[in-house]
Structure 1
Amino acid sequence: MELGSILIAILFIVAYLAGLWKLFEKAGRPGWEALIPIYNTYVIVKLTGRPLWWFFLMLIPVIGFIVAIGIMVDFAKSYGKYTFWQHVGAVVLPFIAFPIWGFDKETRYLGQSATEEFKEKYPYKKSTTREWADAIVFAVVAATLIRSFLLEAYTIPTGSMEKSLLIGDFLFVSKVNYGPRVPMTPVAFPFAHHTMPIIGTKAYWEGIKLDYYRLPGLEPIERNDVVVFNYPMDADEPFNRPVDKRENYIKRCLAIGGDTLRIINAQVYVNGQPAEKPEFAQKLYYVKSDGTDFNLDKLREMNIDVHHSTADEYYFNMTSQEAEEVKSWPIVKEVRQRNQEELFYDPEIFPHNPNFKWNADSFGPVIVPAKGWTVKLDSTTIPLYRRAIEVYEGNKVEQSGAQLMINGKVANSYTFKQNYYWMMGDNRDNSLDSRFWGFVPEDHIVGKALFIWMSWDTNGEFLGKIRWNRLFKGIH
């Protein structure tokens, strides 16, 4: 955090505490109680007249945030502040509202606003407009909290996970399983991810940035989990987006921090053992026919993507089960999986270095970084881990030959600060994944895909656009 941001944060805290000190004194409480963290919140609850269990509700993640909003509104009412904007000030800008009210001679403590006695003594009826405004604000806040900390809807936009997940599948993604990530760019337009609809401008403000922090989750990320995460390459030009505003991607986690991953003839190996193949994983297959045309209706029914080469040669994108079925057709002479050859260098493949003659079907071995793992830095490791050290972990990296300087000091090794993951799509020849851009850092993890709640086939007929057999289907 820059010095200017630190000074502004200190100023806000001092202003908030000074205002709270004066407000406590107006209520007959010692002002110094405002300076004691947590206890000062307990005093605020007491001054509103809410029961003590409300204080403990505030300690529960997500629920506590909603309860805290209600408490701050009650606190404002206890000092005769009833307007919509006064309540916004108490909740959003207390470091401004509290000092103004605390040092205002006209402002006084009226009593415990949450009690029936107070409501009878100081009756206040909201206008219809105010009722609607409060309802809308509450709905937006509640929905934003649920979306940020509990559950978020996600749509499959591309075919990289077919046929495990189809274009038009609508998923629910759990933030709770791996632990909700506290927003790192908290000032943003509700329900817009990174771009405002219609006008196309940024939907967030980077004036306030928070460090990465994740609340406790129900489980760690495991191999073969289907995970939603922020696309790491959005850190670069032309977007330069903050971590939590980078595009959402969905892939399958094939390796976790500490694993050694290798791909041989399109088969993924993790720690020397063949990785479990997803049931509906797809690959390109070379198919040779006897020259007879294929039944297009049958191929459409099987959702097989066909690339025609010559009169009798085709490439079918399909699962291994479908390949076996196609092989049994009388007009088919040959079916074999199309794999790129070993030592064939593809410059689009990570780490984009000709010394690593890797491609999408022949890759590695590479060790996925784990938190606390120390890697020796030399000509064989720098190309693999430089981006993680520099971009994802925020270090200044300079390189001269095989020598690396980290934050101005010669470095022969580096210890990683967070876990990393290797993500790949089930549609192996139609997926932009870790084979192309490398590791996914832990702070980019959004959540775990749970189930499909709706599936919409844009190519289907009017009455058949909904894929009824996919509704509420679990994701494996």
Structure 2
Amino acid sequence: MAAYFSIFLVIVTLLTGVIWAFDAWLWAPKRRARLSAAEAQTTGLSDENKAQILREPGFVETAKSVFPVIAFVTILRSFLWEPFQIPSGSMMPTLLVGDFILVEKFAYGIKDPVWRTKLVATGEPKRGDIFVFKYPLDPSIDYIKRVVGLPGDKIIYHNKQLYIQQACKEGQSPCPQPQLVSHTEVSRGDFLQDGIPLLRYHEKLGEVSHDILINPARPEPTAYYYQQPGTAEGEYLVPEGMYFAMGDNRDNSTDSRFWGFVPEDNLVGRAVCIWMSFEFNRKPDDFLPHWVPSGVRFNRIGGLE
């Protein structure tokens, strides 16, 4: 849907811009020429008649009114920032259903809004970033996860423990060994899944500190893990030009463990802040429909980590 909306914005911007240009360079001069001819043929031409001759057609007036606004929105949304709504709990506790976030579109390169060709390189994802990308199995869907593995890294996820073996740089000796990403328990029971109290841990990825959730009652679904050729179960070697993504809600996130890697071409941008957060706690017998917010979580508005 987001991709189609981007295309729609570009088409409307081009259409209204072309109409405005045609009017400025072709139709407006013709209207002024008709006015000059009328003034030469008629003495004392009234202001009303002059205005009638110079009057723009309705579609031109509409296009000239819409173009500046739609062009501003297109530039803002395509190259600078784009709003997204969090639809699921896969990034809890960092992001909740009902959070509205801003994504910095230029963080990983400036791309054209239609074909998504990189025009200017501005940066690359860092370990720990929260990033939005096109779901590799269906690019029409936007996903949001956290960057765990960079190109060349080896990611190991066994018994709900995360290990990262960073890529060996050229000339580096010895090469890095797998390192456990340690975490410390913060609380339990702040969040529930099917009535099960979830364990909340504090974790650090790169320079980013954040919290994750673990469901102690849910077995690790290794049978559904993505099996990369040449690696053991639960182990992933991140190819060049790709990234390994995981949700903070580790036992309730369909991520790279299940479908593989995120290609660089699929990157949309980096999530930078929550600009609004709504609660949706309405019951079936409430007067208002379920999609109407039941409250605002002002305490959640701010930057992300």
CA–CA separation in structure 1 for the residues paired with 2:154 and 2:17: 50
| Structure 2 counterparts to residues 73-472 of structure 1, below 5 A | 74=21, 77-78=24-25, 80-82=26-28, 124-126=54-56, 130-183=60-113, 186=114, 210=115, 213-234=117-138, 243=139, 246-271=140-165, 272-275=178-181, 302=190, 304-307=191-194, 315-320=196-201, 337=216, 340=219, 346-351=222-227, 358=233, 363-364=234-235, 366-370=236-240, 419-459=241-281, 465-471=295-301
- 1:350–1:438 contact (8 Å) kept in structure 2: yes
CA distance in 2, matches of 1:154, 1:170: 6
Structure 2 Cα separation of the partners of residues 224 and 459 of structure 1: 31
Cα offset for 1:346?
3.2
CA distance in 1, matches of 2:228, 2:222: 8
Which residue in the other structure is 1:25 paired with? none
Aligned-pair CA distance for 1:421: 0.3
Write the distance in 2 (CA, Å) between the matches of 1:143 and 1:278. 43
Q: Which residue of 2 aligns with 1:311?
A: none
- Paired with 1:155 and 1:463, the residues of 2 have a C-alpha distance of 13
Deviation at 1:150, TM superposition (A): 1.4
* Deviation readout 1:29-62 (Å, 9 max, x if unpaired): xxxxxxxxxxxxxxxxxxxxxxxxxxxxxxxxxx
Alignment deviations for residues 408-452 of structure 1 (CA, whole Å, 9 cap, x no partner) = xxxxxxxxxxx1000000000000000000001001000100100
Instruction: Give the deviation of 1:339 after TM superposition.
Output: 7.1
TM-score by length of 1: 0.44
Q: Retained in 2: the 8 A contact 1:164–1:279?
A: no
Residue 340 of structure 1, CA deviation: 4.4
Q: Does structure 1 conserve the Cα–Cα contact (< 8 Å) formed by 2:20 and 2:60? A: no
Closer, same or farther: CA 168–369 of 1 in aligned 2, 3 Å:
same
Instruction: Give the unaligned 5+ runs of structure 2.
Output: 1-12, 30-52, 166-177, 203-214, 284-291
Specify every segment of 5 or more residues in structure 1 that has no aligned partner in the other structure, as ranges.
1-65, 84-122, 187-209, 235-242, 286-298, 309-314, 322-335, 371-418
Q: Distance in 2 between matches of 1:159 and 1:453?
A: 18
Q: C-alpha deviations, 1:295-349, integer Å up to 9, x for none? A: xxxx5xx3x21545xxxxxx3223137xxxxxxxxxxxxxx945747xxx83321
The offset of 1:263, in angstroms, is 1.6
Mapped to 1, the partners of 2:151 and 2:242 lie a distance apart of 5
1:4-23 to 2 correspondence within 5 Å? none
Deviation at 1:132, TM superposition (A): 2.9
8 Å CA contact retained: 1:346, 1:357:
no
Once the 2 structures are TM-superposed, how far is the Cα of residue 266 of structure 1 from its aligned partner?
1.5
Amino acid in structure 2 at the alignment position of 1:153? P
Q: State the secondary structure of the residue aligned to 2:65.
A: helix
Q: How many angstroms does 1:73 deviate by?
A: 5.1
Shift of 1:171: 0.4
Quote the offset at 1:352 in angstroms: 7.9
Note closer, same or farther for the CA distance 1:161–1:147 as it changes in structure 2 (3 Å cut).
same
Decide whether the 8 Å contact of 1:305 with 1:318 is kept in 2: no
Distance, in Å, in 2 between the alignment partners of 1:213 and 1:273 is 36
Q: Is the Cα contact below 8 Å between 1:265 and 1:339 reproduced in 2?
A: no
SS of the counterpart of 1:164? coil
Secondary structure of the residue aligned to 1:159 is coil
Alignment partner of 2:127: what SS? coil
AA aligned to 2:262 is V
- 1:114-148 deviations in Å (ceiling 9; x for gaps): xxxxxxxxx95435663233222432333123212
Equivalent residue, structure 2, for 1:207: none
CA RMSD between the two structures:
3.7
Please give the per-residue CA displacement for 1:191-214, whole angstroms capped at 9, x wherever unaligned. Answer: xxxxxxxxxxxxxxxxxxx4x521
Aligned residue identity for 1:465: G
Residues 1:222 and 1:136: Cα distance change in structure 2 (over 3 Å): same
